[in-house]
């Protein structure tokens, strides 16, 4: 039955990410790259296409042997049977596809990660730091969106494609960075304030950007409609801010219960409902979940929410990272142009994020070491870059050529995969990097200061 098969698929999913987590823990690495790679391996493009991949590999080996003057026949050996079952064909049957459960689970992973981010960043703290957030966020926007426009124009030679590429390389991954902050124990550190403030700025900007990008890509050309959609997005965000400011008493009463079960159900009901409503009108569900978290942060239930919902957050976060790998087709990276585009983007935009993050840390009056850590932490790209790529695919053949849209999608997927692994690795080994970089920065800073003579 379909239900039985679906349940087996869910079991394979959780078993696979559990194994990835165990392996990552054994070698003391971040779990995020392991979840992504496992998703890729179990997806339809690798495990699902295993017989064809094995046959192609055997053919390549035979051709190579023939060129070397050797005779090698692997055709008969690739159809291995065990207990009457063809090994590779049977293995391909357990490959996972992007089911509704996995897709919605990934959405919930984003929602819960950003909800927890909001719990650490209440409205009073946000308003108190609004000047710093504005300055650090603007520096981040000008540097990274600017370099993205230039790169996109060089790659595709048209404004709309450049506009989409700029968004892809500009926006850091709130979900992955938040997860890394929690895992590494940085969430309560001084550098977290700069990183979270910049992420808030990026998420608010991207909420408006996605509306504009969607209108441009779909090619309606209706300026009034575009302005109306932007107005709805801005209005919803302002409504959330007002709700956060004046709704503390409501959120406090909503969770007044002696039952952990009721508290969890009420909290999940509120955050998922608000996030879903936001997504339905074109506002990022991540932004909405963040604001709901901020609303709860002013109540007396923060400790209970963190304690009870942490396992829920981590389970759905694992699905989100697994989903990134699952929808990634390694064959996309065979194209020389896509590989070159990804390589150029990684080489150009990693330093720009390091610089803008470092400058953001200095705007927050952090010392050299913590400012460097901010730069390292902001390198990761993720969910929003993939959302922008999906906008390009949706508009293929309308406001943007189908071939260009497919190239942008392939570029975004490869870029996110590389930057998600690179970013989490940089955060994982930040201490070693800081020990090399910080003394040089401090030396340069002290030499630049005028002497007392």
Q: Each residue of 183-198: pLDDT tens digit?
A: 888 888 888 889 988 9
Q: Tell me the sheet residues that pair with 396.
A: 400
Give, as one character, the DSSP assignment of residue 158: S
250: left (phi over 0), alpha (psi -120 to 50) or beta: alpha
Q: Do the Cβ atoms of 120 and 192 come closer than 8 Å?
A: yes
Tokens at residue 142, please?
């000008």
Which position has the token pair 């357990």? 94
Tokens at residue 167, please?
């968004």
> Whole-model pTM?
0.75
In terms of pLDDT, which residue wins out, 147 or 332? 147
Tell me what pLDDT residue 248 has: 78
Average pLDDT score, the chain: 82
Tell me what pLDDT residue 84 has: 45
Mean pLDDT of 80-107: 69
Q: Do the Cβ atoms of 219 and 398 come closer than 8 Å?
A: yes
Q: Do the Cβ atoms of 306 and 145 come closer than 8 Å?
A: no
- Residue 127 reports pLDDT greater than 60: yes
- Residue 452 reports pLDDT greater than 60: no
Distance CA 176, CA 153 (A): 28
Q: What is the pLDDT of residues 314-335, one digit of tens each?
A: 899 899 888 878 877 777 777 8
Tell me what pLDDT residue 55 has: 57
Tell me what pLDDT residue 269 has: 94
What is the per-residue DSSP string for 58-110?
HHHHHHHHHHTT-----TTTSS-EETTEEHHHHHHTT-----HHHHHHHHHHH
Give, as one character, the DSSP assignment of residue 331: G
Q: Do the Cβ atoms of 173 and 382 come closer than 8 Å?
A: yes
Distance CA 299, CA 252 (A): 5
Outline where DSSP puts E strands in 333-412. Answer: none
Non-local (6+) Cβ contacts of 33 within 8 A are: 24, 420, 421, 424, 425
Q: Do the Cβ atoms of 162 and 144 come closer than 8 Å?
A: no
Q: What is the pLDDT of residues 164-174, one digit of tens each?
A: 999 999 999 88
Q: Do the Cβ atoms of 349 and 426 come closer than 8 Å?
A: no
Percent of the chain with pLDDT over 90: 29
- Residue 405 reports pLDDT greater than 60: yes
């Amino acid at each position: 039955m379909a239900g039985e098969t679906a349940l087996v698929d869910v079991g394979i999913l959780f078993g696979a990410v559990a194994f990835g987590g165990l392996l990552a823990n054994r070698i003391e690495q971040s779990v995020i790259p392991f979840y992504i790679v496992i998703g890729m391996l179990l997806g339809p493009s690798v495990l699902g296409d295993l017989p064809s991949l094995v046959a192609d590999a055997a053919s390549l080996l035979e051709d190579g042997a023939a060129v070397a003057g050797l005779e090698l026949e692997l055709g008969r050996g690739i159809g291995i049977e065990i207990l009457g079952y063809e090994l590779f064909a049977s293995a391909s049957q357990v490959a996972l596809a992007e089911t509704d459960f996995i897709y919605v689970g990934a959405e919930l992973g984003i929602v819960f990660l950003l909800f927890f981010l909001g719990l650490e960043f209440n409205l009073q703290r946000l308003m108190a730091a609004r000047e710093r957030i504005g300055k650090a966020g603007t520096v981040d926007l000008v540097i990274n969106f600017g370099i993205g426009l230039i790169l996109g124009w060089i790659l595709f030679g048209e404004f709309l494609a450049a506009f989409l590429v700029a968004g892809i390389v500009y926006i850091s991954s709130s979900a992955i960075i938040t997860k890394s902050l929690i895992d590494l124990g940085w969430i309560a550190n001084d550098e977290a304030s700069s990183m979270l403030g910049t992420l808030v700025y990026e998420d608010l900007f991207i909420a408006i950007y996605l509306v504009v990008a969607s209108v441009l890509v779909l090619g309606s050309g209706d300026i009034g409609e575009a302005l109306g959609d932007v107005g709805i997005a801005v209005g919803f965000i302002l409504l959330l801010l007002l709700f956060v400011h004046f709704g503390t008493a409501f959120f406090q009463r909503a969770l007044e219960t002696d039952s952990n079960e009721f508290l969890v159900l009420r909290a999940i009901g509120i955050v998922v409902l608000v996030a879903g409503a936001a997504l339905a009108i074109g506002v990022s569900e991540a932004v909405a979940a963040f604001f709901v978290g901020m609303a709860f942060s002013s109540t007396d239930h923060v400790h209970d929410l963190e304690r009870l919902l942490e396992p829920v957050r981590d389970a759905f976060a694992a699905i989100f990272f697994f989903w990134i790998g699952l929808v990634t087709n390694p064959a996309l990276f065979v194209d020389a142009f896509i590989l070159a585009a990804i390589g150029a983007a990684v080489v150009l935009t990693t330093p720009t994020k390091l610089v803008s993050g470092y400058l953001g840390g200095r705007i927050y009056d952090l010392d050299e070491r913590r400012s460097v850590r901010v730069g390292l932490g902001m390198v990761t790209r993720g969910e929003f870059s993939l959302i922008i790529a999906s906008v390009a695919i949706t508009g293929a053949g309308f406001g943007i050529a189908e071939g260009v849209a497919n190239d942008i999608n392939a570029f975004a997927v490869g870029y996110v995969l590389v930057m998600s692994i690179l970013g989490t690795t940089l955060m994982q080994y930040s201490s070693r990097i800081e020990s090399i970089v910080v003394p040089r920065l401090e030396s340069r800073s002290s030499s630049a200061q005028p002497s007392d003579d």
